[in-house]
Chains A and B, each alone.
Chain A
Amino acid sequence: KAGVTQTPRYLIKTRGQQVTLSCSPISGHRSVSWYQQTPGQGLQFLFEYFSETQRNKGNFPGRFSGRQFSNSRSEMNVSTLELGDSALFLCASSRGTEAANTIYFGEGSWLTVV
């Protein structure tokens, strides 16, 4: 079956612009979470959605936002981009229905801010 799909895979933006990243979870998965990965900070949790509701949020400024649609697809948005926002953004999905909740990651979206 298809895995977690993220688009776009690579993008370059200018400081001050905004960006929207998209994530299609594995079919049947209702929980979607987002992570930012940088060489210095490792994987850092951004937020998580289940059935269109944000369930958990990491320690990121309000410029980082997300949403989930009724088909479980999710988007995240970063406004007023800063140079330090350059990172690999990862989306992960899971069923969200059982204790052994295996989480699957997408290939990520590489964002470069210049």
Chain B
Amino acid sequence: DAKTTQPPSMDCAEGRAANLPCNHSTISGNEYVYWYRQIHSQGPQYIIHGLKNNETNEMASLIITEDRKSSTLILPHATLRDTAVYYCIAPKPMNYGGSQGNLIFGKGTKLSVKP
């Protein structure tokens, strides 16, 4: 897995966009970037993933730099329920029947959305 670096904490005002950065300068060409979040006492929730192109789904947008050394997760209109720890990971790709391997989550970014 590529090593990822995230700021330990961030604040965001409710209704504003939350931009969470992640550095993955050692990422390999075939390693995807995944984002998860974990709300206290619950299992990690999948948000979005991408390889090269920017991605958007109903939860968030993912912007990946052209050199793929960093990415930003964007929550366009943060709500109080988005308060959580956000994890950026870049696991090695999996072949059929292969191993997911040891996903390394690190400490993530604790996002606090404030009213």
Chain A residues with CB under 8 Å of chain B are 4, 6, 31, 33, 35, 42-43, 45, 48, 50-51, 55-56, 58, 88, 90, 92, 94, 96-108, 110
Contacts and interface: CB of A to CB of B under 8 A. Distances in A.
A106 B43 contact: yes
A106 to B, nearest CB: 5
Contact of A56 (B32, B49, B93, B99): B99
A98 B105 contact: no
Contacts of B53: none
Contacts, number: 80
Contacts of B49: 100, 102
Given A42-B105, A99-B32, A99-B93, A105 B44 contact: yes
A106 B51 CA distance: 25
A99 B99 contact: no
Chain B residues touching A, range? 20 to 34
Interface in B22-40: 30, 32, 34, 36
Nearest to B30: A99
Given A55-B100, A96-B94, A96-B96, 19 more contacts: A31-B100, A35-B103, A43-B105, A48-B99, A48-B101, A50-B97, A50-B99, A56-B100, A94-B100, A96-B100, A97-B96, A100-B32, A101-B91, A101-B94, A101-B100, A105-B45, A107-B42, A107-B43, A108-B43
A45 B44 contact: no
B98 A96 contact: yes
B94 A98 contact: yes
